A and B are shown apart, each in its own frame.
Chain A
């Protein structure tokens, strides 16, 4: 069964450092997403991406965040200067036309 893969599974970084989280969506999907989940809280939408541009973004997705699809397979989330409150599990997801989102296993980010 095709799946969304994410790397790294866990990253620890110092406050102020740049972080790049990587995702490989399912190959024939066209829509890509990033969500995050702070420990014990709900899953929060960050951004959706289609046709090489951002479709929608939430208030959380400020200027410190950016997304990119540098090649035909990877989809990345960059946090330019991490803050303590960026500590969370970050989930990548992709979908085709059916609307079902396929989520990866997540990347746990710990900012010290």
Chain B
């Protein structure tokens, strides 16, 4: 399973765009990149998943360069309620549903 590295913490202000980058140098061909959000005392919640290039949904965008050795989660115009821990995970989800390994995540603090 590919190991991921992401900043331990980030600070931002309301209304700003936040970009969190994750490194996964030994990502495998079948691996997808998935980001989860976790609030204190709650279970992680799926944000976005991608394989290559760019994926966008109503919550975030995910940018993946051609070599797929990193990815960037982009949160547009954050609010106080976006304060949470964000996890980048890499794994093969094709059928076998292999286990997901959570790293320490990035603790995002959004200030007024």
Contacts and interface: CB of A to CB of B under 8 A. Distances in A.
Interface string B90-102: 0101111111111
A103 interface: yes
A42 B44 CA distance: 11
Of B91, B94, B95, B99, most buried by chain A (CB within 10 Å of CB) is B99
Interface size class of A (residues with CB under 8 A): 20 to 34
Interface of chain A, helix or strand or loop or mixed? Answer: strand
Given A33-B99, A58-B99, A100-B46, A43 B38 contact: yes
B99 A56 contact: yes
A89 B38 CA distance: 13
Interface in B32-61: 32, 34, 36, 38, 41-46, 49
A42 B97 contact: no
22 contacts: A42-B104, A43-B102, A44-B102, A45-B99, A45-B100, A45-B101, A48-B97, A48-B98, A48-B99, A50-B97, A55-B98, A89-B41, A93-B43, A99-B49, A99-B93, A101-B36, A101-B44, A103-B43, A104-B43, A105-B43, A106-B41, A108-B41
Interface of B: 32, 34, 36, 38, 41-46, 49, 87, 91, 93-105
Interface of A: 4, 31, 33, 35, 42-45, 48, 50, 55-56, 58, 89, 91, 93, 95, 97-106, 108
